[in-house]
Structure 1
Amino acid sequence: MGKTIVITGAGDGLGRALARRFAADGETVVLLGRTAAKVEAVAAELGASHLALACDIADPASVRAAFAKIAEVHPKIDVLINNASIYEPFTLAEVRDDQVVASLMTNVAGTIFCAREALPLLRGNGHIINVSSEAVAIKMAMLWLYAGGKAGMELMSDIWARELADDGVRVTVVQAGQMMDETKTGTSWPMDVAMRFMQDNAKIGLNPRERPISHYNSVTDAFRAVVDMPADLHIRHVALTADRRAQP
Protein backbone atom coordinates (compact mmCIF):
# COMPACT_ATOMS: atom_id res chain seq x y z
CA MET A 1 0.00 0.00 0.00
CA GLY A 2 1.30 3.48 -0.89
CA LYS A 3 2.23 6.09 1.66
CA THR A 4 0.50 9.39 2.33
CA ILE A 5 3.09 12.18 2.30
CA VAL A 6 2.50 15.80 3.30
CA ILE A 7 4.93 18.33 1.81
CA THR A 8 5.15 22.00 2.74
CA GLY A 9 6.35 24.55 0.22
CA ALA A 10 5.14 22.20 -2.51
CA GLY A 11 4.30 24.84 -5.11
CA ASP A 12 7.78 25.07 -6.62
CA GLY A 13 11.45 24.20 -6.12
CA LEU A 14 12.37 21.13 -4.12
CA GLY A 15 8.84 20.78 -2.74
CA ARG A 16 7.36 20.49 -6.21
CA ALA A 17 10.09 18.06 -7.29
CA LEU A 18 9.38 15.89 -4.23
CA ALA A 19 5.64 15.93 -4.94
CA ARG A 20 6.22 14.85 -8.53
CA ARG A 21 8.67 12.13 -7.49
CA PHE A 22 6.50 10.57 -4.80
CA ALA A 23 3.34 10.77 -6.93
CA ALA A 24 5.19 9.05 -9.78
CA ASP A 25 6.24 6.35 -7.30
CA GLY A 26 2.60 5.65 -6.45
CA GLU A 27 2.37 7.56 -3.17
CA THR A 28 -0.48 9.91 -2.25
CA VAL A 29 0.74 13.47 -1.85
CA VAL A 30 -0.75 16.37 0.11
CA LEU A 31 0.69 19.65 -1.13
CA LEU A 32 0.79 22.65 1.21
CA GLY A 33 1.79 26.11 0.08
CA ARG A 34 1.17 29.73 0.87
CA THR A 35 -0.06 30.43 -2.68
CA ALA A 36 -3.10 28.30 -3.47
CA ALA A 37 -2.74 28.63 -7.25
CA LYS A 38 0.77 27.16 -7.20
CA VAL A 39 -0.02 24.01 -5.21
CA GLU A 40 -3.32 23.54 -7.04
CA ALA A 41 -1.48 23.63 -10.38
CA VAL A 42 0.97 20.97 -9.22
CA ALA A 43 -1.83 18.81 -7.80
CA ALA A 44 -3.76 19.07 -11.08
CA GLU A 45 -0.66 17.91 -12.91
CA LEU A 46 -0.27 14.93 -10.56
CA GLY A 47 -3.88 13.71 -10.70
CA ALA A 48 -7.13 13.54 -8.78
CA SER A 49 -5.90 11.45 -5.84
CA HIS A 50 -3.61 14.23 -4.62
CA LEU A 51 -4.71 17.11 -2.39
CA ALA A 52 -3.61 20.76 -2.51
CA LEU A 53 -4.25 23.14 0.38
CA ALA A 54 -3.34 26.77 0.90
CA CYS A 55 -1.36 27.02 4.14
CA ASP A 56 0.85 29.75 5.56
CA ILE A 57 3.05 27.76 7.91
CA ALA A 58 4.01 30.94 9.78
CA ASP A 59 0.38 31.26 10.91
CA PRO A 60 -0.61 28.64 13.51
CA ALA A 61 -4.31 29.08 12.72
CA SER A 62 -3.65 28.40 9.03
CA VAL A 63 -1.65 25.28 9.93
CA ARG A 64 -4.37 24.01 12.26
CA ALA A 65 -7.01 24.53 9.57
CA ALA A 66 -4.93 22.74 6.93
CA PHE A 67 -4.25 19.69 9.07
CA ALA A 68 -7.91 19.53 10.12
CA LYS A 69 -8.79 19.25 6.42
CA ILE A 70 -6.06 16.67 5.90
CA ALA A 71 -7.43 14.58 8.79
CA GLU A 72 -10.87 14.55 7.16
CA VAL A 73 -9.40 12.90 4.07
CA HIS A 74 -6.45 11.03 5.58
CA PRO A 75 -6.93 10.00 9.24
CA LYS A 76 -3.39 8.60 9.07
CA ILE A 77 -0.38 10.04 7.28
CA ASP A 78 3.00 8.39 6.89
CA VAL A 79 5.41 11.25 6.27
CA LEU A 80 5.59 15.00 6.88
CA ILE A 81 8.30 16.83 4.93
CA ASN A 82 8.92 20.29 6.38
CA ASN A 83 10.40 21.91 3.30
CA ALA A 84 9.03 25.47 3.18
CA SER A 85 11.48 28.21 4.17
CA ILE A 86 12.55 31.81 3.59
CA TYR A 87 16.06 32.43 2.26
CA GLU A 88 17.08 36.09 2.45
CA PRO A 89 20.46 37.77 3.06
CA PHE A 90 21.06 40.83 5.22
CA THR A 91 23.48 42.18 7.80
CA LEU A 92 22.67 42.71 11.46
CA ALA A 93 22.84 46.49 11.05
CA GLU A 94 20.26 46.59 8.27
CA VAL A 95 17.83 43.77 9.06
CA ARG A 96 14.25 45.00 9.43
CA ASP A 97 11.78 43.89 12.08
CA ASP A 98 9.54 42.24 9.47
CA GLN A 99 12.48 40.25 8.05
CA VAL A 100 13.41 38.90 11.48
CA VAL A 101 9.82 37.93 12.24
CA ALA A 102 9.18 36.39 8.82
CA SER A 103 12.36 34.29 8.89
CA LEU A 104 11.88 32.98 12.43
CA MET A 105 8.16 32.37 12.00
CA THR A 106 8.61 30.43 8.76
CA ASN A 107 11.92 28.64 9.21
CA VAL A 108 11.59 27.79 12.90
CA ALA A 109 8.06 28.27 14.21
CA GLY A 110 6.49 26.98 10.99
CA THR A 111 8.34 23.69 11.35
CA ILE A 112 7.07 23.41 14.92
CA PHE A 113 3.47 24.27 14.02
CA CYS A 114 3.35 21.68 11.21
CA ALA A 115 5.02 18.91 13.24
CA ARG A 116 2.71 19.54 16.19
CA GLU A 117 -0.48 19.42 14.11
CA ALA A 118 0.73 16.40 12.11
CA LEU A 119 1.72 14.39 15.18
CA PRO A 120 -1.72 12.84 15.91
CA LEU A 121 -1.82 11.62 12.30
CA LEU A 122 1.76 10.30 12.39
CA ARG A 123 1.72 8.29 15.61
CA GLY A 124 2.46 4.61 15.05
CA ASN A 125 5.13 4.37 12.32
CA GLY A 126 5.18 7.96 11.04
CA HIS A 127 8.14 10.00 9.91
CA ILE A 128 9.00 13.71 10.10
CA ILE A 129 11.66 14.90 7.66
CA ASN A 130 12.95 18.42 8.29
CA VAL A 131 14.82 20.07 5.42
CA SER A 132 17.92 21.97 6.47
CA SER A 133 20.75 23.61 4.53
CA GLU A 134 24.49 23.39 4.06
CA ALA A 135 24.45 27.05 5.16
CA VAL A 136 24.55 25.72 8.73
CA ALA A 137 28.02 24.31 8.15
CA ILE A 138 29.36 26.89 5.67
CA LYS A 139 28.32 29.98 7.66
CA MET A 140 28.03 32.29 4.65
CA ALA A 141 28.05 36.03 5.16
CA MET A 142 24.62 37.72 5.38
CA LEU A 143 22.82 34.39 5.89
CA TRP A 144 23.22 34.31 9.67
CA LEU A 145 19.49 34.30 10.43
CA TYR A 146 18.62 31.69 7.81
CA ALA A 147 21.51 29.45 8.90
CA GLY A 148 20.76 30.10 12.57
CA GLY A 149 17.13 29.13 12.12
CA LYS A 150 18.12 25.94 10.33
CA ALA A 151 20.68 25.11 13.03
CA GLY A 152 17.99 25.53 15.66
CA MET A 153 15.67 23.30 13.67
CA GLU A 154 18.37 20.62 13.49
CA LEU A 155 18.81 20.72 17.27
CA MET A 156 15.06 20.50 17.82
CA SER A 157 14.89 17.57 15.42
CA ASP A 158 17.49 15.61 17.39
CA ILE A 159 15.52 16.10 20.60
CA TRP A 160 12.20 15.31 18.89
CA ALA A 161 13.66 12.04 17.63
CA ARG A 162 14.22 10.92 21.22
CA GLU A 163 10.96 12.40 22.51
CA LEU A 164 8.78 10.81 19.82
CA ALA A 165 10.37 7.36 19.76
CA ASP A 166 7.70 5.90 22.05
CA ASP A 167 5.04 7.32 19.71
CA GLY A 168 6.53 5.37 16.82
CA VAL A 169 7.56 8.54 14.98
CA ARG A 170 11.01 8.91 13.45
CA VAL A 171 12.62 12.30 12.81
CA THR A 172 15.27 12.91 10.17
CA VAL A 173 17.12 16.05 9.09
CA VAL A 174 18.12 16.30 5.43
CA GLN A 175 20.73 19.02 5.04
CA ALA A 176 20.81 20.02 1.37
CA GLY A 177 23.25 22.05 -0.72
CA GLN A 178 22.54 24.44 -3.58
CA MET A 179 19.80 23.17 -5.89
CA MET A 180 18.19 24.32 -9.11
CA ASP A 181 16.10 23.19 -12.07
CA GLU A 182 15.21 24.49 -15.51
CA THR A 183 12.64 26.93 -14.10
CA LYS A 184 15.06 28.64 -11.73
CA THR A 185 17.21 31.03 -13.70
CA GLY A 186 18.62 33.23 -10.97
CA THR A 187 18.06 35.00 -7.68
CA SER A 188 15.01 37.11 -6.86
CA TRP A 189 17.06 39.30 -4.52
CA PRO A 190 17.51 43.00 -5.38
CA MET A 191 20.65 43.51 -7.46
CA ASP A 192 22.43 45.58 -4.83
CA VAL A 193 21.75 42.93 -2.16
CA ALA A 194 22.98 40.14 -4.44
CA MET A 195 26.17 42.06 -5.23
CA ARG A 196 26.94 42.74 -1.56
CA PHE A 197 26.24 39.09 -0.77
CA MET A 198 28.88 38.05 -3.29
CA GLN A 199 31.35 40.70 -2.10
CA ASP A 200 30.95 39.91 1.61
CA ASN A 201 31.41 36.20 1.01
CA ALA A 202 34.48 36.83 -1.17
CA LYS A 203 36.02 38.62 1.83
CA ILE A 204 35.85 35.38 3.85
CA GLY A 205 37.06 33.19 1.00
CA LEU A 206 33.70 31.94 -0.29
CA ASN A 207 32.50 32.34 -3.86
CA PRO A 208 28.86 31.17 -4.19
CA ARG A 209 29.15 31.22 -8.00
CA GLU A 210 31.87 28.59 -7.85
CA ARG A 211 29.93 26.20 -5.63
CA PRO A 212 28.44 23.22 -7.51
CA ILE A 213 24.66 23.02 -7.89
CA SER A 214 22.60 19.83 -7.94
CA HIS A 215 19.30 19.28 -9.73
CA TYR A 216 16.17 19.07 -7.59
CA ASN A 217 15.35 15.71 -9.18
CA SER A 218 18.66 14.25 -8.02
CA VAL A 219 18.00 15.40 -4.46
CA THR A 220 14.65 13.58 -4.41
CA ASP A 221 16.55 10.28 -4.54
CA ALA A 222 17.87 10.94 -1.02
CA PHE A 223 14.38 11.60 0.32
CA ARG A 224 13.14 8.42 -1.34
CA ALA A 225 15.87 6.47 0.44
CA VAL A 226 15.08 8.07 3.81
CA VAL A 227 11.37 7.33 3.48
CA ASP A 228 12.14 3.72 2.55
CA MET A 229 14.35 2.96 5.55
CA PRO A 230 13.27 -0.31 7.21
CA ALA A 231 11.65 -0.14 10.63
CA ASP A 232 14.81 -1.28 12.43
CA LEU A 233 16.99 1.46 10.92
CA HIS A 234 16.72 5.15 11.73
CA ILE A 235 18.75 7.78 9.92
CA ARG A 236 18.87 10.92 12.05
CA HIS A 237 20.86 13.17 9.73
CA VAL A 238 21.66 13.20 6.01
CA ALA A 239 24.08 15.77 4.57
CA LEU A 240 23.87 16.37 0.82
CA THR A 241 26.24 18.45 -1.27
CA ALA A 242 26.42 18.88 -5.02
CA ASP A 243 29.28 17.08 -6.76
CA ARG A 244 31.39 19.23 -9.07
CA ARG A 245 32.38 16.18 -11.10
CA ALA A 246 28.82 15.91 -12.37
CA GLN A 247 28.54 19.55 -13.46
CA PRO A 248 28.20 20.20 -17.20
Structure 2
Amino acid sequence: MSKRIVITGAGAGLGRALARGFAADGHDVVLLGRTLSKVEAVAAEIGDRALALGCDVASPDSIRAAFAKIAARHQAIDVLINNAAIYAPFTIASATDEQIFGGITTNLIGPMLCSRSAIPMMTNGGQIINVSSESVALPFPHLSVYRAGKAGLEMFSDALQLEVEGAGISVTCVRAGSMHEEGKQWDIDRDAAMAFHSASVEAGLDLRNRPMSHTQSPVDIFRAIIGLPADLRIGTIALHARKQV
Protein backbone atom coordinates (compact mmCIF):
# COMPACT_ATOMS: atom_id res chain seq x y z
CA MET A 1 0.00 0.00 0.00
CA SER A 2 1.27 3.45 -0.91
CA LYS A 3 2.36 5.62 2.02
CA ARG A 4 2.77 9.36 2.39
CA ILE A 5 6.30 9.96 3.65
CA VAL A 6 7.76 13.29 4.80
CA ILE A 7 11.57 13.52 4.78
CA THR A 8 13.53 16.45 6.19
CA GLY A 9 16.97 17.24 4.76
CA ALA A 10 15.91 15.62 1.50
CA GLY A 11 18.03 17.71 -0.84
CA ALA A 12 21.18 15.59 -0.57
CA GLY A 13 22.78 12.60 1.12
CA LEU A 14 20.67 10.03 2.94
CA GLY A 15 17.52 12.14 2.65
CA ARG A 16 17.77 12.25 -1.12
CA ALA A 17 18.52 8.53 -1.34
CA LEU A 18 15.46 7.76 0.79
CA ALA A 19 13.24 10.00 -1.34
CA ARG A 20 14.38 8.31 -4.54
CA GLY A 21 13.97 4.84 -3.07
CA PHE A 22 10.53 5.36 -1.58
CA ALA A 23 9.20 7.06 -4.72
CA ALA A 24 10.50 4.16 -6.81
CA ASP A 25 8.52 1.85 -4.51
CA GLY A 26 5.33 3.75 -5.32
CA HIS A 27 5.10 5.93 -2.21
CA ASP A 28 4.28 9.65 -2.18
CA VAL A 29 7.18 11.66 -0.78
CA VAL A 30 7.30 15.19 0.62
CA LEU A 31 10.80 16.62 0.46
CA LEU A 32 11.66 19.29 3.00
CA GLY A 33 14.91 21.22 2.78
CA ARG A 34 16.34 24.54 3.85
CA THR A 35 17.51 25.21 0.27
CA LEU A 36 14.40 25.00 -1.88
CA SER A 37 16.32 24.62 -5.15
CA LYS A 38 17.93 21.40 -3.92
CA VAL A 39 14.68 19.64 -3.00
CA GLU A 40 13.04 20.96 -6.15
CA ALA A 41 15.79 19.31 -8.21
CA VAL A 42 15.18 15.99 -6.45
CA ALA A 43 11.42 16.32 -6.91
CA ALA A 44 11.83 17.09 -10.61
CA GLU A 45 13.87 13.92 -10.97
CA ILE A 46 11.26 11.83 -9.12
CA GLY A 47 8.16 13.23 -10.81
CA ASP A 48 4.53 13.52 -9.70
CA ARG A 49 4.94 11.48 -6.53
CA ALA A 50 7.18 14.16 -5.00
CA LEU A 51 6.32 17.50 -3.39
CA ALA A 52 9.24 19.83 -2.65
CA LEU A 53 8.92 22.46 0.07
CA GLY A 54 11.42 24.88 1.50
CA CYS A 55 11.61 24.34 5.25
CA ASP A 56 14.17 25.33 7.86
CA VAL A 57 13.64 22.89 10.72
CA ALA A 58 15.29 25.38 13.07
CA SER A 59 12.34 27.75 12.53
CA PRO A 60 8.95 27.00 14.12
CA ASP A 61 7.21 29.33 11.66
CA SER A 62 8.88 27.66 8.68
CA ILE A 63 7.76 24.24 9.92
CA ARG A 64 4.18 25.42 10.48
CA ALA A 65 4.04 26.85 6.97
CA ALA A 66 5.47 23.67 5.43
CA PHE A 67 3.04 21.37 7.21
CA ALA A 68 0.12 23.60 6.26
CA LYS A 69 1.15 23.09 2.63
CA ILE A 70 1.48 19.35 3.22
CA ALA A 71 -2.05 19.26 4.65
CA ALA A 72 -3.33 21.00 1.53
CA ARG A 73 -1.88 18.16 -0.57
CA HIS A 74 -2.33 15.14 1.71
CA GLN A 75 -5.08 14.46 4.23
CA ALA A 76 -2.74 12.42 6.40
CA ILE A 77 0.92 11.54 6.90
CA ASP A 78 2.03 7.94 7.34
CA VAL A 79 5.74 8.42 8.01
CA LEU A 80 7.93 11.31 9.18
CA ILE A 81 11.69 10.89 8.82
CA ASN A 82 13.64 13.48 10.80
CA ASN A 83 16.87 13.38 8.84
CA ALA A 84 17.99 17.04 8.58
CA ALA A 85 21.14 17.78 10.56
CA ILE A 86 24.12 20.09 10.89
CA TYR A 87 27.45 18.27 11.15
CA ALA A 88 30.42 20.53 11.84
CA PRO A 89 33.40 19.99 14.16
CA PHE A 90 34.51 22.77 16.50
CA THR A 91 35.57 23.17 20.11
CA ILE A 92 33.25 24.80 22.60
CA ALA A 93 35.92 27.32 23.51
CA SER A 94 36.08 28.54 19.92
CA ALA A 95 32.39 28.12 19.04
CA THR A 96 30.23 30.98 17.87
CA ASP A 97 26.69 31.52 19.14
CA GLU A 98 25.41 30.44 15.73
CA GLN A 99 27.34 27.16 15.82
CA ILE A 100 25.98 26.20 19.24
CA PHE A 101 22.39 27.33 18.77
CA GLY A 102 22.27 26.18 15.15
CA GLY A 103 23.53 22.70 15.98
CA ILE A 104 21.17 22.05 18.87
CA THR A 105 18.19 23.70 17.19
CA THR A 106 18.52 21.80 13.92
CA ASN A 107 19.61 18.44 15.30
CA LEU A 108 17.33 18.20 18.34
CA ILE A 109 14.66 20.89 18.48
CA GLY A 110 13.91 20.54 14.75
CA PRO A 111 12.78 16.90 15.09
CA MET A 112 10.67 17.91 18.10
CA LEU A 113 8.94 20.68 16.15
CA CYS A 114 8.41 18.51 13.07
CA SER A 115 7.01 15.70 15.19
CA ARG A 116 4.65 18.15 16.88
CA SER A 117 3.27 19.17 13.49
CA ALA A 118 3.15 15.65 12.07
CA ILE A 119 1.46 13.78 14.94
CA PRO A 120 -1.98 15.40 14.49
CA MET A 121 -1.87 14.32 10.84
CA MET A 122 -1.09 10.69 11.68
CA THR A 123 -3.49 7.84 12.32
CA ASN A 124 -3.08 4.33 13.73
CA GLY A 125 0.04 2.84 12.13
CA GLY A 126 1.87 6.14 11.73
CA GLN A 127 5.63 6.14 12.14
CA ILE A 128 8.28 8.67 13.17
CA ILE A 129 11.88 7.77 12.33
CA ASN A 130 14.65 9.88 13.86
CA VAL A 131 18.14 9.66 12.37
CA SER A 132 20.86 9.66 15.03
CA SER A 133 24.61 9.09 14.73
CA GLU A 134 27.21 6.54 15.75
CA SER A 135 29.15 9.47 17.25
CA VAL A 136 26.84 9.23 20.27
CA ALA A 137 28.71 6.10 21.32
CA LEU A 138 32.21 6.93 20.08
CA PRO A 139 34.75 9.44 21.50
CA PHE A 140 34.71 11.85 18.56
CA PRO A 141 36.42 15.12 19.53
CA HIS A 142 35.27 18.58 18.43
CA LEU A 143 31.70 17.26 18.08
CA SER A 144 30.34 18.03 21.55
CA VAL A 145 27.33 19.97 20.24
CA TYR A 146 26.57 17.46 17.49
CA ARG A 147 26.92 14.48 19.83
CA ALA A 148 24.82 16.16 22.53
CA GLY A 149 22.09 16.92 20.01
CA LYS A 150 22.01 13.36 18.68
CA ALA A 151 22.11 11.85 22.17
CA GLY A 152 19.19 14.08 23.09
CA LEU A 153 17.38 12.93 19.96
CA GLU A 154 17.67 9.32 21.12
CA MET A 155 16.27 10.20 24.54
CA PHE A 156 13.49 12.18 22.87
CA SER A 157 12.64 9.18 20.71
CA ASP A 158 12.24 6.94 23.75
CA ALA A 159 10.09 9.49 25.56
CA LEU A 160 7.97 10.30 22.52
CA GLN A 161 7.11 6.62 22.07
CA LEU A 162 5.42 6.67 25.48
CA GLU A 163 3.32 9.68 24.42
CA VAL A 164 2.11 8.37 21.06
CA GLU A 165 1.84 4.64 21.63
CA GLY A 166 -1.81 4.91 22.62
CA ALA A 167 -2.57 6.48 19.23
CA GLY A 168 -0.96 3.56 17.41
CA ILE A 169 2.09 5.60 16.34
CA SER A 170 5.58 4.09 16.59
CA VAL A 171 8.91 5.87 17.00
CA THR A 172 12.17 4.43 15.73
CA CYS A 173 15.67 5.85 16.11
CA VAL A 174 18.28 4.84 13.53
CA ARG A 175 21.83 5.40 14.75
CA ALA A 176 23.63 5.76 11.41
CA GLY A 177 27.31 5.27 10.65
CA SER A 178 29.56 7.30 8.38
CA MET A 179 28.33 7.67 4.80
CA HIS A 180 29.60 9.22 1.60
CA GLU A 181 27.95 10.42 -1.59
CA GLU A 182 29.53 11.13 -4.96
CA GLY A 183 30.17 14.81 -5.51
CA LYS A 184 29.17 15.91 -2.02
CA GLN A 185 31.58 18.44 -0.52
CA TRP A 186 32.08 18.94 3.20
CA ASP A 187 31.45 22.63 3.85
CA ILE A 188 34.15 23.27 6.43
CA ASP A 189 37.33 25.34 6.40
CA ARG A 190 40.68 23.61 6.11
CA ASP A 191 41.95 24.56 9.57
CA ALA A 192 38.88 23.13 11.30
CA ALA A 193 39.12 19.94 9.24
CA MET A 194 42.80 19.48 10.09
CA ALA A 195 42.21 20.12 13.78
CA PHE A 196 39.34 17.63 13.78
CA HIS A 197 41.45 14.97 12.08
CA SER A 198 44.41 15.45 14.45
CA ALA A 199 42.22 15.36 17.55
CA SER A 200 40.43 12.25 16.25
CA VAL A 201 43.73 10.42 15.76
CA GLU A 202 44.72 11.32 19.32
CA ALA A 203 41.40 9.90 20.51
CA GLY A 204 42.09 6.64 18.67
CA LEU A 205 39.84 7.33 15.67
CA ASP A 206 41.81 7.50 12.44
CA LEU A 207 39.26 9.03 10.10
CA ARG A 208 41.25 8.16 6.98
CA ASN A 209 41.11 4.46 7.76
CA ARG A 210 37.58 4.25 9.16
CA PRO A 211 35.12 2.51 6.82
CA MET A 212 32.29 4.47 5.21
CA SER A 213 29.11 3.22 3.61
CA HIS A 214 27.26 4.82 0.73
CA THR A 215 24.15 6.93 1.35
CA GLN A 216 22.19 4.44 -0.74
CA SER A 217 23.14 1.49 1.45
CA PRO A 218 20.76 2.08 4.41
CA VAL A 219 17.68 2.62 2.21
CA ASP A 220 16.59 -1.02 2.49
CA ILE A 221 16.76 -0.76 6.28
CA PHE A 222 14.29 2.13 6.19
CA ARG A 223 12.13 0.13 3.78
CA ALA A 224 12.05 -2.67 6.34
CA ILE A 225 11.11 -0.28 9.14
CA ILE A 226 8.13 1.21 7.33
CA GLY A 227 7.08 -2.25 6.17
CA LEU A 228 6.93 -3.86 9.61
CA PRO A 229 3.84 -5.90 10.51
CA ALA A 230 1.34 -4.03 12.67
CA ASP A 231 2.28 -6.06 15.76
CA LEU A 232 5.97 -5.14 15.64
CA ARG A 233 8.00 -1.98 16.15
CA ILE A 234 11.69 -1.15 16.30
CA GLY A 235 13.03 1.11 19.04
CA THR A 236 16.68 2.00 18.37
CA ILE A 237 18.93 0.27 15.86
CA ALA A 238 22.57 0.95 15.06
CA LEU A 239 24.07 0.83 11.57
CA HIS A 240 27.84 0.67 11.08
CA ALA A 241 29.93 0.90 7.96
CA ARG A 242 32.27 -2.03 7.46
CA LYS A 243 35.47 -2.46 5.50
CA GLN A 244 35.15 -4.16 2.14
CA VAL A 245 37.53 -7.07 1.54
Q: Same fold, TM exceeding 0.5?
A: yes
- 1:1-248 pair list within 5 angstroms: 1-184=1-184, 186-245=185-244
CA drift at 1:188: 2.1
CA drift at 1:16: 0.4
* Runs of 4 or more consecutive aligned structure 1 residues displaced over 4 Å after TM superposition: none
**One-letter amino acid of the counterpart of residue 61, structure 2:** A
**One-letter amino acid of the counterpart of residue 214, structure 1:** S
Q: SS in structure 2 opposite 1:182?
A: coil
**One-letter amino acid of the counterpart of residue 174, structure 1:** V
Unaligned runs of 5+ in 2: none
CA drift at 1:221: 1.1
Could you tell me how far apart the structure 2 residues matched to 1:236 and 1:204 are? Answer: 30
8 Å Cα contact 2:8-2:15 kept in structure 1: yes
For residues 210-248 of structure 1, give each alpha carbon's deviation from its aligned partner in whole angstroms, at most 9, with x where no partner exists: 1100011111111111111111011001100011136xx
For residues 138-191 of structure 1, give each alpha carbon's deviation from its aligned partner in whole angstroms, at most 9, with x where no partner exists: 13000111011000010010011121100111000001001012222x532111
Q: SS in structure 1 opposite 2:29?
A: strand
Q: SS in structure 1 opposite 2:186?
A: coil
Could you tell me how far apart the structure 1 residues matched to 2:241 and 2:224 are? Answer: 17
TM-score for both structures, normalised by structure 1: 0.97
Coordinate RMSD, CA, aligned? 1.0
Could you tell me how far apart the structure 2 residues matched to 1:152 and 1:93 are? Answer: 21
For residues 25-56 of structure 1, give each alpha carbon's deviation from its aligned partner in whole angstroms, at most 9, with x where no partner exists: 11110000011111011001101231110001
The alignment of Structure 1 onto Structure 2 pairs a total of residues equal to 245
Could you tell me how far apart the structure 1 residues matched to 2:18 and 2:210 are? Answer: 23
Q: SS in structure 2 opposite 1:245?
A: coil
Could you tell me how far apart the structure 2 residues matched to 1:228 and 1:243 are? Answer: 25
